[in-house]
Chains A and B, each alone.
Chain A
Amino acid sequence: MSISRRKFLGWMGAAGVGTTLGKKAGAASGKHFTGHPGSLGVLHDMTRCVGCRSCEEACNQVNELPKPEKPFKDTSVLDKKRRADTKAYTVVNRYETSRGTVFRKIQCNHCLEPACASVCFVTAFSKQPAGPVVYDPSVCVGCRYCLMACPFEIPSYQYDDPFTPEVVKCTMCAPRIEKGQLPGCVEACPKEALTFGKRDDLVRIARKRINKYPDRYVDHIYGEKEMGGTSWMYLSGVPFTEIGMREDLGNTPAPALTSGALHVVPMVVALWPVFLTGMYGMTKRREKIAALEKTEAVQAAIEKTDAEGEDKLSAAMEKANTEKKKALEKAEQEKEKAVREALEKAEQEKEKAVREALEKAEQEKEKADDDKTADDKPEEES
Chain B
Amino acid sequence: MSEETVSVDNKSIFSIFNIITGIIVFVGVILTILRFTKGLGAVTNLSDTQPWGLWIGFDLMCGVALAAGGYTTSAACYIFGMKKYHSAVRPAILTAFLGYSIVLLSLLYDVGRPDRLMMAYPFIIQQGTTSLLFEVGLCVLLYLTVLLLEFTPIPLEWLGLKKARDIAVKVTMVLTIFGVVLSTLHQSSLGALFLIAPSKLHPLWYSPFIAVFFFVSSIIAGLSMVIFEGTLSHRAFHHKMDETYLAEHNPLVLGYAKAASLVLFGYFVIKLMGVAAGNHWYLLSTPYGIWFLVEVLGFVALPCFLFAIGARDKNLNLIKFTAVWSVIGIVLNRLNVCMIAFNWHLPLNERYIPNWMEVALSIFMVTVLILIFRFVATRMPVFYEHPDYKEH
Contact = CB atoms under 8 A, between A and B. Distances in A.
Contacts of A153: 48-49
B181 A264 contact: no
B208 interface: yes
Interface stretch (B121-129, B278-286, B303-311): B121-129
Contact of A142 (B48, B81, B113, B138): B113
B132 interface: yes
Contacts of A246: 199
B351 to A, nearest CB: 13
B242 to A, nearest CB: 24
A144 B133 CA distance: 11
Interface string A1-31: 0000000000001001011111111000000
B184 interface: yes
Interface string B179-217: 011001100110011011111100000001001000000
Contacts of A63: none
Interface stretch (B38-46, B61-69, B153-161, B355-363): B38-46
B3 to A, nearest CB: 51
B197 A258 contact: no
B211 A264 contact: yes
A238 to B, nearest CB: 20
B37 interface: yes
Contacts of A118: 130-131, 196
Interface in A138-160: 139-145, 147-149, 151, 153, 155-160
Contact of B78 (A145, A268, A280): A280
A118 B122 CA distance: 16
Nearest to A113: B130
A273 interface: yes
Scoring A145, A156, A163 by chain B CB atoms within 10 A of each residue's CB, the highest score goes to: A145
Interface string B18-33: 0000000000000000
B138 A16 contact: yes
Nearest to A151: B199
B132 A85 contact: no
A50 to B, nearest CB: 27
A257 interface: yes
B48 A121 contact: no
B123 A24 contact: no
Contacts of A148: 51-52, 193, 196-197, 200
B129 A22 contact: yes
A160 B135 contact: no
A161 B48 contact: no
Interface residues of B, number: 59
Nearest to A144: B51
Contacts of B112: 140-144, 157-158, 161, 165-166
A118 B188 CA distance: 18
A257 B131 CA distance: 11
Nearest to A152: B199
A35 interface: no
B23 to A, nearest CB: 25
A268 B184 contact: yes
B127 A141 contact: no
Given A261-B189, A268-B184, A119 B133 contact: yes
B117 A141 contact: yes
Given A159-B46, A165-B112, A268 B131 contact: no
A16 B145 CA distance: 15
A122 B123 contact: yes
Given A140-B113, A265-B185, A120 B44 contact: no
A123 B173 contact: no
A33 interface: no
Given A118-B131, A121-B128, A277-B177, A258 B122 contact: no
Scoring A153, A155, A159, A250 by chain B CB atoms within 10 A of each residue's CB, the highest score goes to: A159
A123 B127 contact: yes
Contacts of B125: 139
Contacts of B375: none
A302 interface: no
A246 to B, nearest CB: 6
Contacts of B200: 148, 151
Contacts of A140: 112-113, 116, 122
A143 B129 contact: no
Interface string A271-305: 01100110110011011000000000000000000
Contacts of A249: 199
B366 interface: no
B132 A272 contact: no
Contacts of A209: none
B79 interface: yes
B168 interface: no
B80 interface: yes
A59 B9 CA distance: 70
A141 to B, nearest CB: 5
A115 interface: yes
Nearest to A165: B112
Contacts of A265: 135, 185, 189
B111 interface: yes
B40 A258 contact: no
Contacts of B181: 268-269, 272-273, 276
Nearest to A246: B199
A85 B47 CA distance: 10
B205 to A, nearest CB: 14
Contact of A160 (B36, B39, B133): B39
B195 A257 contact: yes
Interface string A172-207: 000000000000000000000000000000000000
Given A249-B199, A280-B177, A287 B81 contact: yes
A255 interface: yes
A279 B135 contact: no
A254 B113 contact: no
B113 A268 contact: no
Contacts of A257: 195-196, 198
Interface in A54-93: 83, 85
A279 B177 CA distance: 11
B296 interface: no
A159 B208 contact: no
A308 interface: no
Given A83-B48, A85-B48, A257-B196, A272 B128 contact: no
Given A121-B127, A287-B81, 7 more contacts: A21-B129, A148-B196, A151-B199, A160-B38, A165-B113, A260-B208, A269-B181
5 contacts: A250-B198, A258-B196, A272-B177, A272-B181, A280-B81
Interface of A: 13, 16, 18-25, 83, 85, 115, 117-124, 139-145, 147-149, 151, 153, 155-166, 246, 248-250, 254-255, 257-258, 260-262, 264-265, 268-269, 272-273, 276-277, 279-280, 283-284, 286-287
